[in-house]
């Protein structure tokens, strides 16, 4: 299992990159309706659809603009091996082909959710 190793410098670089991508490819982004009030004493677990390349970037922007939590994301290990920089953004792996590794990843996710400042995103 690859653990998350968040770094402020990586988050800054990634945010600049994502902001530029959105400015180039989208005229505007609108959120309809009201967001529920989420107590600051509770961690946040997101399980959004993952139907486009943009989905993770949208989660990043939502967190920056609305939730303001420490972000963590569960990613398939085979993908995270290809993009190890993501560990510096709070990404950790899960290997669904190994029961032991899957249990380790779920225990790690549970530890993340013990801290109310954290946001955990799992793309089902």
Give per-residue pLDDT as tens, 1-44. 999 999 999 999 999 999 999 999 999 988 888 888 889 899 99
Answer whether residue 93 is part of any domain: yes
Q: Over the stretch 74-124, which tens digit does the pLDDT of each residue have?
A: 999 999 999 999 999 999 999 999 999 999 999 999 999 999 999 999 987
**Residues in the chain, overall count:** 124
39 belongs to a structural domain: no
Total domain count, the chain: 1
| 89: Cβ contacts below 8 Å, ≥ 6 apart | 4, 6, 10, 11, 14, 71, 73
pTM of the model: 0.92
Residue range(s) defining the domain that contains residue 123:
68-124
Whether residue 52 lies inside any domain: the answer is no
Distance (Å, whole) CA 39 – CA 103: 29
CB 57 within 8 A of CB 21: yes
* Residue 82 is assigned to a structural domain of this protein: yes
In a domain, 115, yes or no: yes
Question: Can you say how many angstroms the Cα of residue 51 is from the centroid of all Cα atoms in its chain?
Answer: 15
């Amino acid at each position: 299992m690859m653990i998350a190793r968040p770094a402020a410098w990586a988050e800054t670089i990634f945010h600049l990159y994502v902001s530029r991508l959105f400015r180039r490819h989208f005229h505007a982004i609108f959120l309809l309706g009201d967001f529920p009030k989420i107590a600051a004493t509770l961690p946040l677990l997101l399980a959004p659809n993952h139907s486009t390349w943009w989905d993770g970037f949208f989660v990043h922007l939502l967190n920056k603009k609305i939730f303001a939590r420490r972000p963590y994301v569960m990613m398939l290990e085979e993908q995270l091996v290809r993009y190890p920089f993501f560990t510096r953004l709070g990404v950790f792996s899960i290997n669904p082909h190994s029961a032991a590794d899957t249990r380790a990843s779920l225990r790690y996710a549970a530890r993340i959710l013990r801290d109310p400042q954290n946001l955990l995103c799992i793309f089902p």
